[in-house]
Amino acid sequence: MDTFTSASGSTPRRSARLVSWRWATPEAQAVLATRDLASILRYYRHVHGTSQLEASELLGYDKTYISALELGKRHLSDVGSLRHVAERLALPPHVLGVTDPADTDHRAMIQFGTSTVRLAEVARQCGRAAEAVAELWPLVARLEARAQDGSTERDVLRLLAHARLSLGTALGNVLPEERLATAAHWTAKSLDVVRAFDDRALTTTALRMHGNELRKAGLLGAAVDRLTQAAATAPSTEERAAVLPLLARAAGALGNAALFDHAVREAHQFLDTVEHTSLVNPIALYEIRLRGLISTGRTRDAIRHAESAPPAPTVTVAPQWRVIELITTGRVRLLAGDSHGATQLLTTAVREAQAQRLPHQLQRVQRTAVGRLPDTHDAATRALVQLRTEIAA
């Protein structure tokens, strides 16, 4: 049983996080929908393995009174008692028929929060990840506080899961490499919530986004594991199509050539299916294949692949993908001995990465250019220093 003790040494009570998460399960939602206190009390004791005596201590009632409530022999009708029970069981008061003045604020928060997450995702896709982070921080803080209080509902927890995912992904764009574990931390926290839902699509999304942030943080084995789970969990070909490019990228970075090749082949199959072309970004897949071929020791194949022009985009491509592709192609040009072509590509990448505030991509330019293109390396270093100065200010 999860408990905690306050700093003042007061009696431990059940963790609000544990209570609220268990109220979010589909089984709990069916019980809550009855609005029947007897059923709710019995369910509460069942999932927590709590005796009637322990329930009586939690609620401040006699054990025999708890038994009578569960058998329907006694009933609570006054607002104060119902509100007290709702608070102790970490339930919104309206579940027990109590009008809560905060309900209007609650509904407004859900509507506002949903819009915030949606607009933050649009901002990130448009190359304004820093703005997305600024919008998401206050929302996540508010949702975290509400969850910690235990007064949460299913829609609050679902919004919290999406907000954590969106925040982690946006941070993954704006943080330098040495801090990318923070982005993975937030996407990991979303999984804590997602597990409370019987929703394969949501689980797939969370595993996919978390796996990608793990890869960026350098935790390649864990990344491949999460992305493999996402592909296996995907309830439809659409969700699986969204996972495959990221799985290919992580497998390539890990040096797993067999898994990389398999994921790339399957992703290309979706490109050949008209109804799925919006699910696989051909520009991203082109870059992923280049980088994966290099990582799996097939530099000559990467050079040959780079000699073909990048595919024409069939979907709107986020600006950061342009930067990512420029750096990878520049690296291939350098490996092919084309210093001039590599310099042109990487110089453009530095300019665009600085404009979009992408420190991780500037660090990729540094690694690519070090010892080979000193002027390009210095330009990336100056841009990175400037970004860090702006962030510190």
Domains identified in the chain and CATH numbers = 3-99 (1.10.260.40)
DSSP H helix total and E strand total for the chain: 20, 2
Average pLDDT, integer, range 51-69: 91
Average pLDDT, integer, range 151-174: 87
Which pLDDT tens digit goes with each residue over 307-347? 877 766 656 677 888 899 999 999 999 999 999 999 999 99
Q: pLDDT tier at 27 (50, 70, 90 boundaries)?
A: confident
Q: pLDDT tier at 138 (50, 70, 90 boundaries)?
A: confident
Q: pLDDT tier at 106 (50, 70, 90 boundaries)?
A: low
CB 139 within 8 A of CB 326: no
Q: How far apart are CA 238 and CA 290, in angstroms?
A: 24
Q: CA angle 258-263-266, nearest 5°?
A: 125
Query: Does residue 17 or residue 54 have the better pLDDT?
Result: 54
Q: How far apart are CA 197 and CA 22, in angstroms?
A: 10
Distance of CA 36 to the CA centre of its chain: 35
Which pLDDT tens digit goes with each residue over 109-118? 788 889 999 9
Q: Which pair of structure tokens corresponds to residue 384?
A: 């990175």
The per-residue pLDDT for 333 is 94
Q: Which pair of structure tokens corresponds to residue 43?
A: 């369910």
Nearest to 216 by CA among 244, 161, 179, 257: 179
Least confident piece of the model among 36-45, 201-210, 249-258, 315-324: 315-324
Least confident piece of the model among 183-197, 273-287, 347-361: 273-287
The per-residue pLDDT for 149 is 63
Q: Which helix (H) or strand (E) holds 14?
A: strand 13-14
Mean pLDDT of the chain: 84
Long-range contacts of 104-110 (CB under 8 A, 24+ apart): 106/153, 106/156, 109/142, 110/155, 110/156, 110/159
Q: pLDDT tier at 17 (50, 70, 90 boundaries)?
A: very low
In order of 79, 111, 120, 132, 358, the CA distances from 170 in angstroms are 44, 21, 8, 6, 11
CB atoms within 10 A of CB 311: 12
Q: How far apart are CA 263 and CA 241, in angstroms?
A: 10
Cβ partners under 8 Å of residue 1, min gap 6 = 14, 48, 49
Average pLDDT, integer, range 195-215: 92
Q: Is the dihedral of CA 191, 195, 196, 202 positive or negative?
A: positive
Average pLDDT, integer, range 166-189: 92
Residue with tokens 């901002």: 123
Least confident piece of the model among 107-116, 163-172, 225-234: 107-116
Is residue 257 over pLDDT 50? yes
Q: Which helix (H) or strand (E) holds 13?
A: strand 13-14
For 76-124, give the secondary structure using H, E and C: CCCHHHHHHHHHHCCCCHHHHCCCCCCHHHHHHHHHHHHHHHHHHHHHH
Q: pLDDT tier at 292 (50, 70, 90 boundaries)?
A: very high
The per-residue pLDDT for 150 is 60
**Bridge partner list, 4:** 13
Q: pLDDT tier at 6 (50, 70, 90 boundaries)?
A: very low
The per-residue pLDDT for 393 is 53
The per-residue pLDDT for 315 is 60
Is residue 256 over pLDDT 80? yes
Is residue 7 over pLDDT 80? no
Torsion angle of C-alpha atoms 264, 265, 266, 267, degrees rounded to 10: 50
Query: Does residue 216 or residue 391 have the better pLDDT?
Result: 216
Angle formed by the axes of helices 282-295 and 257-271, to 10°? 160
Average pLDDT, integer, range 78-104: 76
DSSP state, 349?
H
Query: Does residue 6 or residue 188 have the better pLDDT?
Result: 188
Cβ partners under 8 Å of residue 65, min gap 6 = 56, 74
